[in-house]
C-alpha cells in the first residue's frame, strides 16, 4: 500500500472552539475516502489544514510519506473546496487555458478533461450560460488539469438537482476507476455510501469511526455508537 496522506493527532482551535480534536487517519492510494459528519463537525477545517489554507493548532500531517515538502506535494493534489469561480464571459476552454497558465501546466489535456466531465460539446459556451452542475463539472475538469494523484472535494453535490447530483457522483467514480485517489467531505450518509470505499466519521471535530464503508454499518462500526452520536448524523 502506498500512503498518500497521513494525519496524526490533528487539532484546530478557533478561540475556545475546538473544530478538530486529536484527529488521526490515513489515505491510501487508489481508494475513495469520505469524511462524513453533520454541518460544523470539522470536515472543511480538516481539508483546509491539509491543503495549507488553515493553520493547525497541533498535530501533524504528511503528504506522500513526507518524501517532499508540503508545497511540492500540493502540486500533485487537485482540490475544489469553494464554489466554482471562473470568468463569466469566457468560454470553458478559455477559462481552463487561464488555469493552465496560472498552474504552469500544459494546455494539452484541456479537451480530455472536458470530455471526462461530459462538457466537451459545450467547451465553447460561456461560463455564465452553464448550470450549477456544469459549473461544478468544469471545476472538476480544472482540478484534474495537472493529473493529480488525489482529488479533494468539499461537499461536491451541494445545491445541485437530482440529475446534477447523479452526474457528479458518476464522474467521481469514473475518475477513481482510472486510479486517482479521492477524498471528499459530505454531510450526506447516502453520498458516502454510494461513492466511497472508506470513511472517516466526524462529530464535533472528533473521529467516531474510520474504516471501510461496509464496516460502518456493521457490528464493529456505526451501530455500536451511542444513540446520541447517531442522531447527529
Residue 41 touches ligand ADP, criterion: CB under 6 A? yes
Nearer to ligand ADP, 49 or 116 (CB): 49
Cβ at position 24, least distance to ligand ADP in Å? 17
Nearer to ligand ADP, 39 or 228 (CB): 39
How far CA 129 is from CA of 88, 92, 163, 218, in Å, comes to 8, 10, 18, 45
- Cβ(39)–Cβ(221) below 8 Å: no
* SS (HEC) of 82-138: CCCCCCCCCEHHHHHHHHHHHHCCCCCCHHHHHHHCCCHHHCCCEHHHCCHHHHHHH
Residue 21 touches ligand ADP, criterion: CB under 6 A? no
Q: Which of 19, 96, 100, 168 binds ligand ADP (CB under 6 A)?
A: 19
Q: Which of 37, 84, 148, 164 binds ligand ADP (CB under 6 A)?
A: 37
Q: Using CB under 5 A, count the residues that bind Mg ion.
A: 2
Site for Mg ion in 25-64 (CB under 5 A): 43-44
Residue 42 touches ligand ADP, criterion: CB under 6 A? yes
Could you give the CA distance from residue 201 to residue 199 in angstroms, rounded to a whole number? 6
The site for ligand ADP (CB under 6 A) is made up of 14, 17, 19, 37, 39-45
Amino acid at each position: 500500500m502506498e500512503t498518500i496522506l497521513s494525519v496524526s493527532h490533528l487539532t484546530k482551535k478557533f478561540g475556545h472552539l475546538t473544530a478538530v480534536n486529536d484527529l488521526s487517519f490515513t489515505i491510501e492510494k487508489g481508494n475513495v475516502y469520505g469524511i462524513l459528519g453533520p454541518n460544523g463537525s470539522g470536515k472543511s477545517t480538516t481539508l483546509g489544514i491539509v491543503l495549507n489554507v488553515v493553520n493547525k493548532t497541533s498535530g501533524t500531517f504528511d503528504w506522500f510519506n513526507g518524501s517532499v515538502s508540503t508545497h511540492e506535494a500540493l502540486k500533485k493534489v487537485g482540490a475544489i473546496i469553494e464554489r466554482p469561480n471562473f470568468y463569466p464571459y469566457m468560454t470553458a476552454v478559455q477559462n481552463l487555458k487561464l488555469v493552465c497558465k496560472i498552474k504552469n501546466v500544459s494546455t494539452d489535456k484541456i479537451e480530455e478533461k472536458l470530455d471526462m466531465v461530459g462538457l466537451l460539446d459545450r467547451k465553447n459556451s460561456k461560463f455564465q450560460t452553464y448550470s450549477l452542475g456544469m459549473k461544478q463539472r468544469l471545476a472538476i475538469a480544472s482540478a484534474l488539469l495537472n493529473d493529480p494523484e488525489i482529488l479533494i472535494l468539499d461537499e461536491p453535490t451541494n445545491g445541485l438537482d437530482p440529475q446534477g447530483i447523479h452526474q457528479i457522483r458518476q464522474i467521481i467514480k469514473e475518475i477513481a476507476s482510472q486510479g486517482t485517489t479521492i477524498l471528499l467531505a459530505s454531510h450526506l450518509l447516502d453520498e458516502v455510501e454510494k461513492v466511497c470505499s472508506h470513511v472517516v466519521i466526524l462529530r464535533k471535530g472528533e473521529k467516531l469511526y474510520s474504516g471501510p464503508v461496509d464496516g460502518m454499518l456493521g457490528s464493529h462500526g456505526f451501530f455500536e455508537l451511542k444513540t446520541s452520536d447517531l442522531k447527529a448524523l
